[in-house]
């Protein structure tokens, strides 16, 4: 598949995976050049900006794209893979990638985008499942950014991005193998004690975090982003920042009465060097209770 096919075209009816692939290497090969649809708002905003290209700069475009985990992933993967060897610095954010790429080359490379609604038009249940994951990613990214700003972490923008992209392998699964994603969700709904890695390995032959790390390395994504996104480095403050934001977003997805939230708030308080009451206030400042 060429870059043009991957990035620009709106595909005709596309085949979906209905059975698991053999192992991590095969899954990685499948997804490394797979089409990635984006949010409808992103596709619309891109076309509006394309029509007014002379008025668009990298910050404006980057801020818009940074709200969409799948479009962010597409831009970072493309720029990282196509980066000239003479450029040794990784662009660690979407905006930095756009500065490196240039506005006109960006629009030339990224044509009209296929939307998630178009891609999953025959899979309404999968679209709903994917929307839930993306909504959780947005909330996690906002929490992560708020924690990072409080910690005065210089990598706050990368931490935001790491939280936004933390579950991108699950998003890609909903897009390309919706029946398998629905099987996993059904199993977890039937047994709330079932561990994600256990059911993923049973249904997919892999665990999604290992697929995610494999794809990030294949796409040559920035080392800092790969490291911050690696849950096995939870002893690092910036990784812990992301993980706690993800946990908070998961546990508060359906309200603030989840039994796990007091422990989350206690852990966040420890990370931020606050008392639990002050940590809760900070969380409510980031996302005011309804």
CB 35 within 8 A of CB 8: no
Phi, psi of 3 (to 5 degrees): -55, -40
CB 199 within 8 A of CB 187: yes
Strand positions, DSSP E, 139-279: none
Residue limits of CATH 1.10.3210.10 in the chain: 118-286
Mean pLDDT, rounded, of the chain: 91
CB 153 within 8 A of CB 238: yes
Measured between alpha carbons, how far apart are the two ends of the chain, in Å?
46
pLDDT computed for residue 277 by the predictor: 96
Q: pLDDT tens-digit profile of 10-49? A: 444 678 999 999 999 999 999 999 999 999 999 999 999 9
pLDDT at 289 over 80: no
Mean pLDDT across 57-83: 92
CB 287 within 8 A of CB 143: yes
Q: What percent of the chain has pLDDT over 70?
A: 92
Per-residue burial over 210-219, b if 16 or more Cβ lie within 10 Å, else e, is bbbbbbbebb
Q: How many CB atoms lie within 10 A of CB 243?
A: 22
Q: Which CATH class is domain 118-286?
A: mainly alpha
Q: Which residue has the higher pLDDT, 287 or 6?
A: 287
């Amino acid at each position: 598949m060429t870059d043009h096919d991957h990035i620009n075209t709106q595909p005709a009816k596309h085949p979906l995976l209905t059975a698991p692939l053999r192992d991590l290497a095969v899954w990685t090969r499948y997804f490394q050049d797979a089409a990635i649809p984006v949010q409808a708002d992103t596709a619309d905003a891109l076309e509006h900006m394309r029509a007014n290209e002379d008025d668009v700069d990298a910050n404006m475009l980057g801020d818009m794209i940074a709200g969409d985990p799948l479009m962010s992933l597409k831009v970072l993967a493309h720029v990282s893979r196509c980066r000239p060897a003479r450029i040794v610095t990784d662009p660690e954010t979407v905006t930095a990638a756009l500065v490196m790429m240039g506005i006109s080359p960006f629009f030339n490379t990224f044509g009209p985008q296929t939307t998630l609604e178009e891609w999953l038009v025959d899979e309404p249940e999968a679209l709903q499942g994917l929307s839930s994951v993306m909504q959780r990613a947005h909330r996690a990214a906002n929490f992560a950014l708020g924690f990072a700003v409080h910690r005065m972490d210089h990598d706050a923008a990368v931490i935001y991005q790491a939280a936004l992209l933390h579950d991108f392998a699950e998003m890609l699964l909903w897009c390309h193998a919706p029946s398998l994603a629905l099987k996993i969700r059904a199993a977890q709904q039937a047994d709330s004690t079932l561990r994600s890695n256990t059911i993923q390995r049973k249904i997919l032959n892999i665990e999604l975090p290992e697929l995610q790390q494999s794809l990030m390395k294949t796409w040559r994504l920035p080392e800092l982003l790969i490291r911050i996104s690696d849950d096995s480095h939870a002893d690092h403050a910036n990784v812990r920042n992301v993980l706690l934001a993800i946990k908070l977003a998961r546990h508060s997805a359906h309200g603030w009465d989840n039994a796990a939230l007091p422990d989350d708030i206690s852990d966040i308080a420890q990370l931020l060097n606050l008392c639990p009451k002050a940590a809760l206030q900070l969380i409510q400042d980031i996302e005011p209770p309804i």
